[in-house]
């Protein structure tokens, strides 16, 4: 019988022996996610793009995640210039 399984077991035991030594706090800050006093995370509506029209320029973005107001930025040409 090969001594390989015993070597692998000994190596695994030696490497994993340092994993259990961390201390875990008994209380978490109230603003921390694992705290029982923490506020619930907001629930986004994943169907907002299917059930409503996107906001027009200058309108509030509301539930449309990722649409930051452009703050009056000038329109760009997309990186190319048309010859006139």
26-39 residue pLDDT tens: 777 777 877 788 88
Please give the pLDDT value at position 14: 77
Exposed / middle / buried, residue 64 (Cβ in 10 Å: 0-12, 13-18, 19+):
middle
Question: Using 50, 70 and 90 to split pLDDT, how confident is the model at 43?
Answer: confident
**Model pTM?**
0.31
In this structure, the chain runs to a length of 84
Question: Using 50, 70 and 90 to split pLDDT, how confident is the model at 8?
Answer: confident
């Amino acid at each position: 019988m090969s001594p390989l399984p015993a070597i692998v077991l000994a190596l695994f035991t030696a490497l994993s022996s340092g994993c259990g030594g961390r201390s875990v706090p008994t209380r978490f800050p109230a603003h921390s996610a694992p705290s029982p006093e923490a506020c619930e995370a907001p629930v986004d509506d994943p169907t907002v793009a299917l059930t409503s029209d996107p906001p027009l320029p200058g309108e509030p973005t509301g539930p449309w995640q990722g649409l930051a107001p452009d703050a009056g930025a000038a329109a760009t040409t997309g990186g190319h210039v048309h010859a006139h």
